[in-house]
Amino acid sequence: EHAKMWFKELAGIGDTKENLAAAAEGENYEWTDMYDGFAKTAEEEGFPELAAKFRAVGEIEKHHEERYRALLKNIETSQVFEKSEVKVWECRNCGHIVVGTKAPEVCPVCNHPQSYFEVRAENY
């Protein structure tokens, strides 16, 4: 708790848009520069398997950047809790389901705010 307090005093916590933009930039550096450099060094030093792993991790970081930029775009275009097509929205607190283009402002079952709703993903 104290660490959070000091971090806030140092202005280390931005809003969600600022944090997503900063995270995307960090991921971009990791996949375009850091891991690429590690891979080149590993190859130069005779470690081709390690170089391949660094490149594989770089690809993971690239996907992270893409995800953060997509989430940021959703915020910037007001598409976080409202979509152009009908979606199934699920309250992450109680599991209540709403079908529509927009998540409710407040869950009618548990009274949690709209921020608890997400588009339901059936990926099992």
Considering the segment(s) 2-76 as one domain, its CATH architecture is: Up-down Bundle (1.20)
CATH of the domain spanning 82-119, picked from 2.20.28.10, 3.40.50.2300, 3.30.530.20, 3.40.50.2000 = 2.20.28.10
Contact in structure between 89 and 120 (CB atoms under 8 Å): yes
Contacts of 97 by beta carbon, 8 Å cutoff, 6+ apart? 88, 89, 90, 91, 120
Amino acid identity, residue 53? Answer: K
Q: What share of the chain is helix, strand, coil (3-state, %, to 5)?
A: 55, 15, 25
Is the pTM higher than 0.85? The answer reads no
Q: How does pLDDT run across 66-80, given as a tens digit for each residue?
A: 999 999 999 999 999
Structure tokens at 87: 């979606």
What is the spatial distance between Cα 46 and Cα 42, in angstroms, rounded to a whole number? 6
Q: How does pLDDT run across 50-104, given as a tens digit for each residue?
A: 999 999 999 999 999 999 999 999 999 999 999 999 999 999 999 999 999 999 9
